[in-house]
């Protein structure tokens, strides 16, 4: 028995059993009452000497059964007790009829007696106790009437009808029992299935509600994150010729960018935190807060020192010590500082390079090969100074664009392809360059490949 079946209330099973079989038993009752009355015609022709007694018996059994059937609700009887009364009455009636028959008529009437029990076994479903009582009272009735009226010897009475009828009655008992158990099992399985469906629907509704609450919470987190990450409009106020192509994988992003101006220098950051979605979103909030603290509050101006201090704050806050199983969260980052007077660019990178396009030539400035977070061999971050010229375009990015799978063969886009896009479009207006990057990625994914990571590409034209 399954767990769902074990949880079904037996009272509910019994109620369903009555509901499913009551109508059929009512019909069977009326048919039995009618046939019992109709058969008096055969009594008149077969045993005319006993015709009146047989009619009295038939009418007594049928009328009493009819009254019980019609008034069963007032009498507080169920349909199975009604049909039991009818079958028992017919059985006792037949026992009397047997007792006054000679051997030849008894042999013929034995088949009618057996039909009674065969019919009961095929048509009636009731508790096993009713079958036991029926057989016992039938035996008692046959013994009593045999003693009172039968002219036959015990051997004649037993061999020519009683033993065979008793055998059929026993088989009928077990037939009813088996059919009842199958019916109850079918009802139990149906109720269990319905119950399982209710449970699944309930759990589904819970999951939907929880999903809605989680999504609402994440959407709220997105609003908070959006408030911390500068808008593209704010970015453009510092660099009028620029674009930010920002495409988070999930509602909240593990990539972020940051920009500020201090003492004639514009600092901007392109960063990719460990993970994406909610975990990455938490890391972005830490990164944004730490950058505000290091640059805005403490006034640090050197990019290498900024990244070193940022790493220290991450390791300290996340309590990273290199132990097995602990968090290895951190970020890959590119931080640029542009002197607005001299156009000197200072860059420090943790795994994230930058590209500078000058007259169609792409120059790559490589980062330190370590993350801004705990690493097995911590080294101070370095910085690179590069003299820019007017017309130069600086591209900073995370790995989401180059690592996206797509195309007909489902391969990575790769940095080589990204470089080609940038060198082919570097001299186009910023808005058009952004549109080219976005449409190229849409075509690459082709509606067949899911976005695997956050995507962030920033371009600044001097």
Any idea where the domains of the chain sit in the sequence? 3-199, 229-461
DSSP state of 380: P
Which contiguous run of DSSP H or E holds residue 460? strand 455-461
User: Is 80 exceeded by the pLDDT of residue 91?
Assistant: yes
User: Is 90 exceeded by the pLDDT of residue 3?
Assistant: no
Instruction: Quickly list H helices, 298-340.
Output: 303-317
CATH superfamily of 229-461: PPM-type phosphatase domain (3.60.40.10)
User: Is 80 exceeded by the pLDDT of residue 328?
Assistant: no
Rounded average pLDDT over 285-306: 92
Q: What are phi and psi of 404, to 5 degrees?
A: -70, 130
User: Is 90 exceeded by the pLDDT of residue 40?
Assistant: no
Q: Two tokens at 55?
A: 């009619």
Which of 172-181, 183-192, 404-413 shows the lowest per-residue confidence on average (mean pLDDT)? 183-192
Strands 344-350 and 354-358: unpaired
Instruction: Name the E strands within 313-430.
Output: 330-339, 344-350, 354-358, 361-365, 372-373, 384-387, 393-397, 405-406, 411-412
Which of 3-7, 29-33, 355-359 shows the lowest per-residue confidence on average (mean pLDDT)? 3-7
Query: What residues pair up with 345 in beta bridges, in sequence order?
Result: 338, 386
Rounded average pLDDT over 359-381: 91
Q: Two tokens at 236?
A: 């453009």
List, in order, residues 6 or more apart from 166 with CB less than 8 Å away: 135, 139
For residue 424, count other CB atoms closer than 10 A to its CB.
12
Q: Note the residue count of the chain.
A: 462
For residue 112, count other CB atoms closer than 10 A to its CB.
15
Q: What are phi and psi of 230, to 5 degrees?
A: -65, 145
Predicted local distance difference test score (pLDDT) of residue 260? 95
Confidence of residue 358 (pLDDT cuts 50, 70, 90): very high
Which residue's entry shows tokens 């931080």?
335
- Indicate the burial class of 448 (C-beta count within 10 angstroms; 0-12, 13-18, 19 or more): exposed
Q: What is the pTM of this model?
A: 0.63
């Amino acid at each position: 028995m399954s767990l769902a079946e074990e949880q079904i209330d037996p009272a509910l099973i019994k109620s369903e059993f009555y509901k499913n079989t009551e109508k059929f038993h009512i019909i069977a009752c009326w048919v039995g009452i009618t046939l019992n009355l109709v058969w008096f015609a055969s009594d008149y022709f077969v045993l005319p000497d006993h015709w009146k007694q047989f009619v009295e018996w038939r009418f007594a059994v049928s009328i009493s059964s009819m009254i019980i059937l019609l008034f069963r609700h007032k009498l507080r009887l169920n349909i199975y007790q009604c049909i039991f009364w009818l079958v028992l009455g017919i059985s006792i009636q037949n026992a009397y009829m047997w007792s006054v028959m000679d051997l030849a008529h008894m042999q013929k009437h034995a088949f009618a007696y057996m039909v009674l029990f065969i019919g009961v076994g095929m048509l009636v479903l009731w508790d096993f106790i009713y079958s036991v009582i029926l057989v016992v009272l039938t035996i008692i009735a046959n013994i009593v009437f045999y003693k009172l009226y039968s002219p036959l010897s015990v051997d004649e009475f037993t061999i020519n009808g009683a033993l065979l009828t008793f055998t059929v009655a026993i088989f009928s008992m077990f037939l009813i029992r088996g059919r009842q158990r199958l019916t109850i099992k079918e009802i139990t399985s149906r109720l269990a299935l319905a119950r399982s469906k209710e449970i699944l629907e309930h759990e589904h509704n819970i999951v939907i509600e929880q999903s809605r609450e989680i999504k609402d919470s994440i959407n709220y987190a997105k609003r908070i994150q959006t408030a911390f990450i500068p808008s593209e409009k704010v970015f453009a106020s510092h660099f009028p010729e620029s674009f930010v192509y920002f495409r988070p994988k999930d509602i909240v992003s593990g990539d972020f960018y940051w920009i500020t101006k201090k003492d004639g220098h514009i600092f901007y950051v392109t960063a990719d935190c460990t993970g994406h979605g909610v975990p990455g979103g938490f890391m972005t909030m830490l990164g944004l807060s730490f950058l505000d603290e290091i640059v805005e509050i403490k006034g640090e101006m050197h990019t290498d020192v900024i990244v070193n201090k940022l790493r220290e704050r991450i390791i300290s806050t996340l309590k990273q010590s290199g132990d097995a199983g602990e968090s290895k969260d951190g970020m890959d980052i590119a931080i640029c500082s542009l002197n607005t007077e001299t156009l000197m660019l200072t860059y420090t990178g943790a795994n994230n390079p930058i590209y500078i396009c000058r007259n169609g030539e792409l120059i790559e400035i490589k980062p330190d090969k370590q993350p801004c977070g705990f690493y097995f061999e911590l080294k101070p971050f370095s910085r690179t100074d590069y003299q820019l010229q007017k017309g130069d375009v600086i591209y900073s990015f995370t790995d989401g664009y180059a690592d996206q799978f797509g195309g007909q063969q489902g391969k990575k886009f790769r940095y080589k392809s990204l470089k080609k896009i940038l060198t082919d479009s570097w001299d186009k207006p910023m808005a058009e360059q952004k549109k080219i990057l976005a449409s190229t990625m849409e075509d690459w994914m082709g509606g067949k490949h899911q976005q695997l990571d956050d995507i962030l590409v920033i371009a600044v034209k001097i």
